[in-house]
Structure 1
Amino acid sequence: MTEGVPDADGIPSKRSLRPLGGVLAAMAVSLTGTRISAVALPWFVLVTTGSATQTGLVAFCEMAPYVVVKAFTGPLVDRIGPRAVSWTTDLASATAAAAVPLFHALDLLSFPLLLALVALIGAVRGPGDLAKEVMVPEAAERGRVPLERATGLSGVTERLASTVGPAAGGSLVALLGPLTGLVVNGGCFALGSVIIALALPRGMGQAVEEGSSQSGETKPGYWRRFGEGFTFLRGEPLLLTVIVMVGITNLLDAAFTTVLMPVWARESGNGPTAIGLTGSMMGATAVGGSLIAAVAAHRLPRRAVFFTGFLLAGAPRFLILASHAPLGAVLTVFAISGFGSGFLNPVLGAILFERVPRRMLGRVNALGDSLAWAGIPLGGLIAGTAVASAGLVPVLLASGTAYFLTTNLTGLRPEWREMSRPGGRGARKRHAEEDASPNSADVTT
Structure 2
Amino acid sequence: MGRHRAADRPTVRPPHKRRPAHTGQRGPYRGLLAGSSITVVGDVIGNAALPLFVLETTHDLTLTGWIAAVSVGASVVTGLLQGPLVDKLGFRTSLLGSSAFAALTTIAFYLLHVFGLLSPALLLVLATVRSVADEPGRVAMFGLVPQLATPAGVPLERANATLRTVTASSNLVGPLAAGGIAAFAGSAWTILLNAVTGVLGTVVLLVALRASKADVPATERDPADDGLSYYRRFRIGLRYLFHDKLLRTLVVATMVFVAFDTSFASIGLTAYATEVLHEPALYGGLISAFGIGSLIGTIGFGAVGHRMPRRPTYLGVYLAFALLVMLMSVQLGVVGTFAVMAVAGVVTSPLDLIYMAVLQERVPKKVFGRVISIANTIMSTPAPLAVSAVTGLISEVGVQVTLLALGCCYLVLALGLVPVRHLHRMDRKRPAGTDLADVTLPLPRVRDTAPPTQPIPRVLDPLSVTQPIPKITTAAPGQRLWVLSADAGLTQPIPRVGPAPMPTVRWSR
**Deviations 1:139-190 (CA, angstroms, capped at 9, x unpaired):** 0122132323322333333333333324434544565566654444343333
- Residue of structure 2 equivalent to 1:194: 203
Match of 1:343 among 347, 350, 364: 350
Calculate the aligned-residue CA RMSD, in Å: 4.8
Identify if the C-alpha distance between structure 1 residues 189 and 210 changes in structure 2 by more than 3 Å, giving closer, same or farther.
same
Using the TM superposition, give the Cα deviation of residue 268 of structure 1 relative to its aligned residue in structure 2, in angstroms. Answer: 5.0
- Residue of structure 1 equivalent to 2:313: 305
Residues 319 and 396 of structure 1 are in contact (CA less than 8 Å); yes or no, is this contact kept in structure 2? Answer: no
Residues 137 and 147 of structure 1 are in contact (CA less than 8 Å); yes or no, is this contact kept in structure 2? Answer: yes
Residues 100 and 109 of structure 1 are in contact (CA less than 8 Å); yes or no, is this contact kept in structure 2? Answer: no
**Deviations 1:176-228 (CA, angstroms, capped at 9, x unpaired):** 56665444434333333222222334143223336789xx8674545343332
1:294 is paired with a residue of what secondary structure?
A: helix
The alignment status of 1:140 with 2:149, answered yes or no, reads: yes
The alignment status of 1:240 with 2:248, answered yes or no, reads: yes
Aligned-partner Cα distance in 2 for 1:258–1:338: 15
> Percent of aligned positions with the same letter in both sequences?
24
1:143 is paired with a residue of what secondary structure?
A: coil
The alignment status of 1:118 with 2:127, answered yes or no, reads: yes
Structure-to-structure mapping, 1:292-371, within 5 angstroms: 292-310=300-318, 326=334, 331-371=338-378
Residues 87 and 196 of structure 1 are in contact (CA less than 8 Å); yes or no, is this contact kept in structure 2? Answer: yes
Residues 162 and 280 of structure 1 are in contact (CA less than 8 Å); yes or no, is this contact kept in structure 2? Answer: no
Aligned-partner Cα distance in 2 for 1:330–1:179: 38
The alignment status of 1:412 with 2:427, answered yes or no, reads: no
Aligned-partner residue type, residue 412 of structure 1: G
Structure-to-structure mapping, 1:252-291, within 5 angstroms: 268=279, 270=281, 275=284, 281-291=289-299
The alignment status of 1:159 with 2:163, answered yes or no, reads: no
1:430 is paired with a residue of what secondary structure?
A: coil
Identify if the C-alpha distance between structure 1 residues 429 and 45 changes in structure 2 by more than 3 Å, giving closer, same or farther.
closer
TM-score, with structure 2 as normaliser = 0.64
Aligned-partner Cα distance in 2 for 1:114–1:254: 29
Identify if the C-alpha distance between structure 1 residues 115 and 337 changes in structure 2 by more than 3 Å, giving closer, same or farther.
farther
Residues 110 and 188 of structure 2 are in contact (CA less than 8 Å); yes or no, is this contact kept in structure 1? Answer: yes
Aligned-partner Cα distance in 2 for 1:312–1:44: 41
Residues 356 and 430 of structure 1 are in contact (CA less than 8 Å); yes or no, is this contact kept in structure 2? Answer: yes
- Residue of structure 1 equivalent to 2:73: 64
Aligned-partner residue type, residue 362 of structure 1: G
The alignment status of 1:209 with 2:194, answered yes or no, reads: no
**Deviations 1:242-270 (CA, angstroms, capped at 9, x unpaired):** 22333344456567778888999999574
**Deviations 1:35-77 (CA, angstroms, capped at 9, x unpaired):** 33454346778996678x974x544422322232222222222
Aligned-partner Cα distance in 1 for 2:35–2:71: 21
Identify if the C-alpha distance between structure 1 residues 115 and 264 changes in structure 2 by more than 3 Å, giving closer, same or farther.
farther
Aligned-partner residue type, residue 156 of structure 1: T
Match of 2:87 among 64, 69, 78: 78
1:144 is paired with a residue of what secondary structure?
A: coil
Name the structure with the higher helix share. Answer: 1
Using the TM superposition, give the Cα deviation of residue 351 of structure 1 relative to its aligned residue in structure 2, in angstroms. Answer: 0.7
Aligned-partner Cα distance in 1 for 2:155–2:131: 32
Residues 146 and 437 of structure 2 are in contact (CA less than 8 Å); yes or no, is this contact kept in structure 1? Answer: no
Unaligned runs of 5+ residues in structure 2 are: 1-18, 443-509
Residues 325 and 403 of structure 2 are in contact (CA less than 8 Å); yes or no, is this contact kept in structure 1? Answer: no
2:25 is paired with a residue of what secondary structure?
A: coil
Aligned-partner residue type, residue 161 of structure 1: S
Residues 150 and 294 of structure 1 are in contact (CA less than 8 Å); yes or no, is this contact kept in structure 2? Answer: yes
1:204 is paired with a residue of what secondary structure?
A: coil
Residues 394 and 402 of structure 2 are in contact (CA less than 8 Å); yes or no, is this contact kept in structure 1? Answer: no
Residues 166 and 280 of structure 1 are in contact (CA less than 8 Å); yes or no, is this contact kept in structure 2? Answer: no
Residues 75 and 362 of structure 1 are in contact (CA less than 8 Å); yes or no, is this contact kept in structure 2? Answer: yes
**Deviations 1:336-366 (CA, angstroms, capped at 9, x unpaired):** 2332232122211111111112333222222
**Deviations 1:96-121 (CA, angstroms, capped at 9, x unpaired):** 445556666748553x6554333222
Using the TM superposition, give the Cα deviation of residue 307 of structure 1 relative to its aligned residue in structure 2, in angstroms. Answer: 4.0
- Residue of structure 1 equivalent to 2:136: 127
2:216 is paired with a residue of what secondary structure?
A: coil
Using the TM superposition, give the Cα deviation of residue 278 of structure 1 relative to its aligned residue in structure 2, in angstroms. Answer: 5.7
Aligned-partner Cα distance in 1 for 2:437–2:206: 33
Identify if the C-alpha distance between structure 1 residues 390 and 146 changes in structure 2 by more than 3 Å, giving closer, same or farther.
closer
Aligned-partner residue type, residue 245 of structure 2: P
Residues 96 and 137 of structure 2 are in contact (CA less than 8 Å); yes or no, is this contact kept in structure 1? Answer: yes
Aligned-partner Cα distance in 2 for 1:358–1:168: 37
Aligned-partner Cα distance in 2 for 1:289–1:356: 26
